[in-house]
Amino acid sequence: EAPEGAPKESELKPEEARFRVTDKGIWIWGHALHGTDHATYAFLEEALGCTWPWSKKIAYFKQNPLKVAERDYAWYPTLKVRRMRSPAGIWRARLRDGGHDAPTYGHAFSDYWGKYGQTQIHPDWFGMRADGKRMPVGFSDETALNPAASKEKPARFIAMCVSNDEYVDHVVKEWADKGAGEYINLCENDAAGEDSCHCPKCEALDAPRPADGKDWWVNWLSDRYINFSKGILERARKYRKDVRVIQYAYNAVELPPRREKWDDSITVGLVPVHFSYDAIKEYVQGWKKVGMKLFFHRPNRRCYYSQSSLPVGFDKHFFNIFKYLVDEGCMGFMYEDGTSESTFGWMADYVIEKGMQDPSKDFEYWEDHYCQAFGPAKDDVKGYYRYWREEVWEKRIEKDMEKIADVGKYFN
């Protein structure tokens, strides 16, 4: 419980963490949403000097006697989403990975094919292939309609027919029947842009193909999906005036719309493809120019550069992108992948996790924070990581990031 005169749990913000040290004792408390956990780890780190450099490892300096200075500590996360997929769950918890008041996101219609497609109840809700069939690309009639043969793949990769009014009505009804929450998740299934619906009604919603459009990467169909979001909002506002929708800027929706006017009730999950600093800036500014205000970052790209035994040196590069997005008003981050347990590349993940905890600090601050865990070897460890950053990433990879991406085409 909170000490006398201090804010009680019910008075704290979501995830807020507190501790107090006086000559009378030590109090650790926080908000019901992970606040006490955060406060416990904050006390261990801030008052006792513990750090968690990787996995389940704990770094600390022995003290005898143990001395704890008198202080009041309060922490509240400014980012609503602070997530990194990593095999070390306890490590993420110790670094205050979490979230509050955040929208529900993720491929929203992955279960629709099993419920409405394979059953042939509503086959017209699904994207039309180039051959005129409404079923997953690469599957025959027999395999697409056979759950045992097709398993999860069709559900995950089939696009929806976003111009179908009956489908739009159903999405709104489904949301309303579940309680009409603040957000409706409209993140499209994980379909490639060229596999979006080819029906005339959907294609009529698209802006013309840009001059630099590539057949192997169709990424300019945002107008049809913004139109879909606006149709959902128009219907949903009959149930709730302040409703919001969330959709990804990803695959077919990578480039911002060119014809549809923006609606401020749209939140965007940014899922960039190219990851040079300039490319990220162009991507974000393109969406902000059409009206995007609320957005979060949901990247895949970091894990493409990872490998199983040694660091790649991208720690500062991706931290600088993180800082840029914070400065642009990003509401949160969900990193697709962290470093595997077997690597010695944990600092790249550590600085991002700590940056999400306190975005005001720069890279060098968290670099020092990480290396302190190694005691007398801290300067050697810093030199080790700087070798990979300066000699490998900056000299041999970073300058050719766009060239590498172009040569790889399908993210190889």
How far apart are the C-alpha atoms of 22 and 247, rounded to whole Å? Answer: 48
Residue-level pLDDT at 409: 67
Task: Determine which helix (DSSP H) or strand (DSSP E) holds 280, and give its type and residue range.
Answer: helix 277-289
User: 3-class SS at 93?
Assistant: helix
Looking at per-residue confidence, does 307 or 238 come out higher? Answer: 238
Beta-strand ranges (E) seen in 290-398 are 294-297, 332-335
Can you give the C-alpha Rg of the chain in angstroms?
Answer: 24
Is the pLDDT score of 228 beyond 80? yes
Residue 16's pLDDT band, with cuts at 50, 70 and 90, is very high
* % of the chain with per-residue pLDDT over 70: 92
Is the pLDDT score of 45 beyond 90? yes
Mean pLDDT of 273-289: 93
Residue-level pLDDT at 343: 54
Mean pLDDT of 237-253: 97
Residue 340's pLDDT band, with cuts at 50, 70 and 90, is low
Residue-level pLDDT at 308: 61
Residue-level pLDDT at 154: 64
Q: How far is CA 173 from CA 82, 177, 193, in A?
A: 31, 6, 27
Mean pLDDT of 359-366: 98
* % of the chain with per-residue pLDDT over 90: 72
> Angle at CA 259, nearest 5°, toward 256 and 260?
80
Residue-level pLDDT at 140: 82
Residue-level pLDDT at 344: 58
Residue-level pLDDT at 312: 84
Is the pLDDT score of 263 beyond 90? yes
Q: What is the greatest pairwise CA distance in the chain?
A: 77
Mean pLDDT of 21-46: 96
pTM over 0.85: yes
Residue-level pLDDT at 306: 62
Is the pLDDT score of 180 beyond 60? yes
Is the pLDDT score of 410 beyond 90? no
Model pLDDT for residues 147-173, shown as the tens digit of each residue: 766 555 667 789 999 999 999 999 999
Mean pLDDT of 308-322: 88
Residue-level pLDDT at 173: 98
Mean pLDDT of 40-65: 93
Mean pLDDT of 312-327: 95
Residue-level pLDDT at 153: 65
Mean pLDDT of 255-278: 94
Residue 122's pLDDT band, with cuts at 50, 70 and 90, is very high
Mean pLDDT of 38-49: 96
Q: For 266, which DSSP code?
A: E
User: 3-class SS at 389?
Assistant: helix
Residue 145's pLDDT band, with cuts at 50, 70 and 90, is confident
Model pLDDT for residues 70-119, shown as the tens digit of each residue: 999 999 999 999 998 866 789 999 999 999 988 889 999 999 998 998 88
Task: Work out the mean pLDDT of the chain and round it to a whole number.
Answer: 91
Looking at per-residue confidence, does 407 or 52 come out higher? Answer: 52
Considering 60-69, 132-141, 359-368, the range whose residues carry the highest mean pLDDT is 359-368
Evaluate whether 292 touches 257 at the Cβ level (below 8 Å).
no
Model pLDDT for residues 201-218, shown as the tens digit of each residue: 999 999 999 998 988 889
Query: Helices marked H in 196-271 — which ranges?
Result: 200-203, 222-236
Ramachandran angles phi, psi of 115, nearest 5°: -85, -35
Beta-strand ranges (E) seen in 65-194 are 71-75, 81-84, 98-99, 183-185
Task: Tell me the residue length of the chain.
Answer: 412
